[in-house]
Amino acid sequence: MRVLDFTAVMAGPFATRMLADLGADVLKVESLEGDQVRARPPMRDGRSAYFGHLNAGKRSIALNLKAPEAIAIIRELVAEYDILVENFRPGVMQRFGLDYESVAAINPRLIYCSISGYGQTGPKAQNPAYAPVIHAASGFDIVNMRYQDGADRPATGGIFVADVLGGTYAFAAIQTALYQREKTGEGQMIDVSMMEAMVGMLVFETQEAQFPGGNKRPLYTPLKTTDGFVMVAPTSPRNFEQLCDATGHPEWRDDPRFRTNADRNANWPALLGLAEVWTLQHSAAEAERILAEHGVPCAQYRDVPAVLEDPQLQSRAAFKRIEDGSGSFLVTNPPFRMSGARVEVRNLVAGLGEHGADVLRDELRMDAERVATLKATGTLK
């Protein structure tokens, strides 16, 4: 599969990197200035590991898309590619003459995926939106604030859930469209809304908003230990019994507050409070070990450096070391394995426009003189 990747920042690059991880030939189409993430830290000798993580395995061509010759080049490439992914604001690709209707006329088999904050239609379609904006607009931040005791404002954020979720939905929709194309021979347009992706994650909250007034939902709170915190989630009747055994409190089984699942849900804070009396007598690692040995769902809270060294993740090859010219660094592999396919990040982090001349020569059969002219006129980097 060959992919024209017009994406930048995170949601789109996240989707197209997974396509590259599965073996697709992804050609990242950048402006002459390049994807802005190329300049974001952590930087080493002028190269961004953040960019490398999101764009490993892709080739790069840098074009001035305001130049008619650049658009002509893209239209030639479209005829030979299977997938086009873009995450501009709605209308930008149309101004370039590269909207779905225009390119589908060139290649009816093309799968065309657009990722945007609010989708391609509707009253907010033209609004600029990055992940933190979508977190606020979707209800996610307010829901999360209400789950925090005593919070008087939404939490400050730095993890871009909407980008990852939107990119994941785009990746999945592209697979479905490819399967449909195998049956029909026709491509199609995919319109991914990050807003709708976030709202779709709020399953309980969507229903509670329509049918309020029920019992308060049990919340999972960190339990303090002698040196940190542990998460304990005794959600099933069996988990509760295992918790009683692990903590040495069999009498909890006969406590009227905890006899049934409904009783435990109604008295959830009390149950966790008693569990915390026990965890306060242990280190986080010790508490996790004892609870896990008894079958209680649990985990100690860890920071990312500890996660990078996690034996479980290492055994699964969840990280792979790649090079970008400024040294090596670890990036995540896709979180799934396939018995009949190679699924892993490819060790290539392209410099801006690194493959442009090769693409024009090898794929469009341009001679060296024309390629040199395109560079001289500022159409190609």
Catalytic residue list: 163
Distances (CA, A) of 171 to 16, 137, 177, 240: 7, 23, 10, 38
Outline where DSSP puts E strands in the chain: 2-6, 25-30, 43-44, 47-48, 58-62, 83-86, 111-116, 188-193, 223-224, 229-232, 298-300, 319-323, 328-332
Cα separation, 288 vs 294, in Å, equals 10
Q: Collapsing DSSP states into helix, strand and coil, what is residue 302?
A: coil
Three-state helix/strand/coil letters over 215-264: CCCCCCCCEECCCCEEEECCCCHHHHHHHHHHHCCHHHHHCCCCCCHHHH
Distances (CA, A) of 360 to 51, 349, 356: 24, 20, 6
Estimate the share of the chain in helix, then strand, then coil, as percent rounded to the nearest 5: 45, 15, 40
Distances (CA, A) of 101 to 110, 187, 261, 333: 11, 11, 55, 35
| Bridge partners, residue 59, by sequence | 27
Residues 6+ apart with CB under 8 A from 74: 4, 29, 63, 65, 96, 98
